[in-house]
Amino acid sequence: MEYTANEMMTIAAARALKDDDVCFVGIGLPSAACNLARLTHAPNLTLIYESGTIGARPDVLPLSIGDGELCETALTTVSVPEMFRYWLQGGRISVGFLGGAQIDRFGNINSTVIGDYRQPKVRLPGAGGATEIATHCGQIFVIMRHSLRAFVEKVDFMTSLGHGSGGDDRQRRGVTTAGPTLVVTDLCIMRPDPETKELTVVSLHEGVEPEQVQEQTGWPLRFADNLERTPPPTEEELTALRDLQARTAKAHAATE
């Protein structure tokens, strides 16, 4: 079956989740990947959204964390303070799945402003709960479309801590969780170097060459010695994703 780069990205991100994970989900691409995982290889995946829904099993992708679809399908809904204090800060969430406007070579994420904070070129939606998610979840997965505007040498504003300035900077700041362990784009898969924590390309999607990834990245990239090819989507994965997107488009069109 033919597939798009966005479908490859979403499916590759979904594959990283395990059946027993408890996942704090961001809206947009993270939500698509997490719900695809739940519909395919990880039916027992527990999805948690910032609004306080635990164990949400939406039939369509939510428009926001306040979408009624989440509360209606969740096992329970708790208050936002309980969600952050007991569940997140209590270390009960294994994976945080985030996106952003910018990410740098050490996995720091910007979703606040483009340009100088005091006189920004663009003011973005802001942190929401991403700052806390990035420091309190067991590990962080990131899904973003690959471009020079998004993959920058240094973020304009650090909304969410990745590996700081690299090496053991995260630990020196007193943060004990693993931070970003996976970055999935429409071109490749990246993981941090074990020592330097600099993002390293470990897998290229089918049809993508190293030069293409470098052209869309704002720093000199490192590629793994044993650089792999991402397995293409299976028919089951593509069908599940396309059905989910079709249901979502139909449901949201009905509310316009």
Token readout for 239 is 């069908």
Contact by Cβ (8 Å): 17, 23 = yes
Rounded to the nearest 5 degrees, what angle is found at the Cα of 97, between the Cα atoms of 63 and 172? Answer: 140
Q: How far is CA 107 from the centre of its chain?
A: 11
Provide the domain count of the chain. 1
Contact by Cβ (8 Å): 91, 138 = yes
| pLDDT tens-place string over residues 157-198 | 999 999 999 999 999 999 999 999 999 999 999 999 999 999
Contact by Cβ (8 Å): 207, 187 = no
State residue 160's pLDDT score.
97
pLDDT for 19 beyond 60: yes
Phi, psi at 241, each rounded to 5°: -65, -45
What would the mean pLDDT of 77-81 be, rounded to a whole number?
A: 95
Contact by Cβ (8 Å): 33, 8 = no
Give percent of the chain above pLDDT 70.
99
> Residue 223's beta-bridge partner residues?
201
Q: pTM of the predicted model, to two decimals?
A: 0.95
CATH number at residue 204: 3.40.1080.10
Helical H runs in 161-234?
A: 169-172, 210-215
State residue 252's pLDDT score.
85
What would the mean pLDDT of 207-228 be, rounded to a whole number?
A: 98
State residue 175's pLDDT score.
97
What would the mean pLDDT of 228-232 be, rounded to a whole number?
A: 98
Query: Which residues form the domain of 24?
Result: 5-254
pLDDT for 240 beyond 90: yes
State residue 256's pLDDT score.
54
Distance CA 45, CA 13 (A): 14
Active site residues: 50
